[in-house]
A and B are shown apart, each in its own frame.
Chain A
Amino acid sequence: MYLKDLSEIYGASGNEEKVRKYIRDVVKKTGKTDFIKEDHLGNLMCFKKGKNQKKTLVLMAHMDEVGLMVSKIEEDGKLNVLPVGGVDPRVLLGKRVVVGEKNIDGVIPFKAIHLQSKDYKKIPDWNDVRVDIGAKDKKDAESKVNLGDFCHFRTFFEEYQNRYVGKAFDDRVGCAIMLEILESMNDLPAFNIVFAFVVQEENGLRGSGAVLKHFHPDAALIIEGTTAGDNPELKRERWSTHLDNGPAVSYLQSMHVIDRRLFNAIVQTAESIRIPFQIKGRTVGGTDAGRLARSFYGVPGAVVSVPARYIHSPVSVMSKEDYNHTRKLVNELVMTENYLKVLEV
């Protein structure tokens, strides 16, 4: 199962090799693309000719996940780490991680509750985060890890009758959906498709813009794993999305207004094939659509997301139904003309 494999691969921003290799192998195996291209940044682009070869759509998901990086090794052998992407230190205490290329086991401990007084109520910050890899001292630690080593959450994927549980659903879910769509593609898509698996989204949308150096698409469609926020302490009107309500469609996000025509095309398509969907209730957070709109000649792009709870943490929860509906919706968007047709003047 692509989602399981992808979720369990370690690949923080700037460390996407293993994800890329996995995806490249799957894409090659399907034999359904015309050519595969990889750029200097590490973006993987797989081109598939469509019925209408005058038009090109970029289908995009990012391969990276949030993680940590070793920034200092203490005298007692513990590691200081800093965040790669948006990580709240409050989700780290008590969690298991792997460090470096050799996946050295480590944990992020916290002072025993018996020994806390005022610090019981103190909000953990990066100063409280240390990784213990069981090293005796600094020298011992240095024999196992290096400064600059990536540090990843170690979480295994689990499947339940209605839920997926795992790490890195933002955005391995997008990668998995793209692979499934490509694999099941028996007809030519409505137009040329570039399946773009990009790097370094989490540290500031740094990879996706370079894709436009190689292809000159008419529009883009970004597939994301997005915030749910349907927690019990939040009132319904503050939710971003709700699990089981279907794919989330964005109209506005950080630094990017979604092209109304593309937004409408997605909504109409979902309605026409009777797929439930929801409009994302919050506008926080950016995606590569924002980067593409500001790169090259400005490529318009829209975003379809699978809602996931507790993203950017060691474990998130996603609805199976939402996943399947998102895949069907995106598949319909690439197999029918509507999505690019709406842009014709």
Chain B
Amino acid sequence: MNKKIKDMLFEFSQAYGPPGREECIRGVIKKRVENLCDEVFVDKSGNLIALKHATEKTEGRLMVSTHMDEVCLVCSNVLDSGYLRVETIGFDPKLLPSQKVTVHTKNGEQLRGIVGMLAPHLQTDETRSKISDYDDLFVDVSMHDISKFSVGDFITFSTEPFETKPFVFAKTIDNRGSCIASIVALEYLQKMRHSFDFYAVFSSREEIGAFGARTATSLIQPDVSVALDVTHGDIDMPGHVKLETGKGPVIAKGPVLTKMVSNGLTKCAKNNGIAYQYEIIPSRTGTDADQIQLEGFPVGLISIPLAYMHNTYEKINVHDIKETGRLLSLFGSELNRCFLSIQSEEEGEKECI
């Protein structure tokens, strides 16, 4: 399974999918889930929805939402001198100088660009004492005919994944790692009984506000939902327990998240010997869960710890993806009607899940 996950990470990380332009990654995921599900379709918001029917009489709907889009740059101006000016969706400008990028043109071409930076010889005290922000950064596309480019072209990072066991370093593991965990869950479910329909949603446009997840929720009307995303691992954050890669999925607790789902996930992990960690999120979560809650549905959040989120290389422990997939499949399989009727989860839980 670990090898399979690694291969998927390599493949998924290279498939582009800026917010609202998820065609490529959607196609790649579709191929992987087609044989694992009963129905696969794309909704009007660009979400890919894979449905695996309950193995017995359906008792309800479980939705697992993982976004498939990625942070990127967008071209805001095309200069005749062979350069593009750019703006960003979620990317740190400090990572950009001297970075190879891929420009996705309106004709569907993928063209090389280089984010340039003045050589140290030509720097002055003034230029040395500032970081290049988006007003200064530019993409050199002088290796191509400039007429191929237009304002609004999306630009993704061009980096090659690699493995140093047990880690994989690659771009866009946020959130392709979670997409893979969702697929892993579907694979495990092939040999399991489950009384809830399992909706694996690969949602669009999370990086600009998680709007894909919201419309998918509205469409599916899930009885229980789980958002699946990544979180900051291996770094000390003041006031927080340090989350570590390799120590299993992270179950989140906070006002956005429905207690019964969070507790249900915890219980499921405990009962099945899956190592897990807790993350406390006292405000909005910055994931699909926020929008699912706003739509008015019960939602939990599982995050996979990774290091260097939104970097050109993010680092993840393959084991955590597998364990997250396993937890999801077990949760899906153990869910039953009784879970939904719990009002006072303290007492009810014991009997029902």
Contacts and interface: CB of A to CB of B under 8 A. Distances in A.
Interface string B250-285: 000000000000000000000000000000000000
A115 interface: yes
Contacts, number: 163
A95 B312 CA distance: 7
Contacts of B307: 109, 132
Interface in B72-97: 79, 81, 83, 85, 90-92, 94-97
Contact of A162 (B97, B118, B120, B143): B143
Nearest to B306: A112
Given A112-B311, A115-B235, A115-B237, A285 B121 contact: yes
Interface residues of B, number: 54
Nearest to B97: A91
B118 A113 contact: no
Contacts of B116: 231, 309-310, 317
Contacts of B128: 123
A113 B311 CA distance: 8
Given A93-B94, A165-B112, A232-B79, A311 B119 contact: yes
Contact of B112 (A87, A120, A158, A309): A158
B142 interface: yes
A116 interface: yes
Contact of A110 (B85, B92, B99): B92
A12 to B, nearest CB: 16
A312 B119 contact: yes
Contact of B140 (A114, A122, A238, A317): A317
Chain A interface main SS type:
loop
A133 B169 CA distance: 10
Given A158-B112, A315-B100, A91 B117 contact: yes
A114 B240 CA distance: 15
Contact of A114 (B99, B142, B143, B309): B309
Contacts of A282: 121-122
A165 B131 contact: no
Given A105-B169, A233-B136, A112 B310 contact: yes
Given A163-B142, A232-B79, A94 B95 contact: yes
A311 B112 CA distance: 18
B117 A88 contact: yes
B149 interface: no
Contact of B97 (A90, A111, A285): A90
Interface string B231-257: 010010100000000000000000000
Interface in B111-154: 112, 114, 116-123, 128-132, 136, 138, 140, 142-144
Contact of A96 (B79, B159, B165, B232): B159
Contacts of B144: 160
B286 interface: yes
A232 B83 contact: yes
Contacts of A232: 79, 81, 83, 85, 138
A121 interface: yes
B309 A112 contact: yes
B190 interface: no
Nearest 3 interchain pairs by C-beta: A134-B164, A94-B95, A160-B143
Interface of A: 86-88, 90-91, 93-96, 105, 107, 109-116, 120-124, 132-134, 155, 158, 160-163, 165, 227-234, 238, 240, 243, 282, 284-285, 309-315, 317
Given A95-B99, A105-B169, A317-B116, 16 more contacts: A94-B92, A94-B312, A109-B315, A111-B235, A158-B112, A160-B144, A162-B142, A162-B143, A227-B122, A229-B122, A232-B138, A309-B119, A309-B140, A310-B114, A313-B98, A315-B98
27 contacts: A90-B132, A94-B313, A95-B99, A107-B169, A107-B312, A109-B315, A110-B92, A111-B235, A111-B308, A112-B232, A112-B311, A113-B309, A113-B310, A123-B130, A132-B307, A155-B100, A165-B112, A233-B138, A234-B118, A310-B98, A312-B121, A313-B97, A313-B119, A315-B98, A315-B99, A315-B114, A317-B114
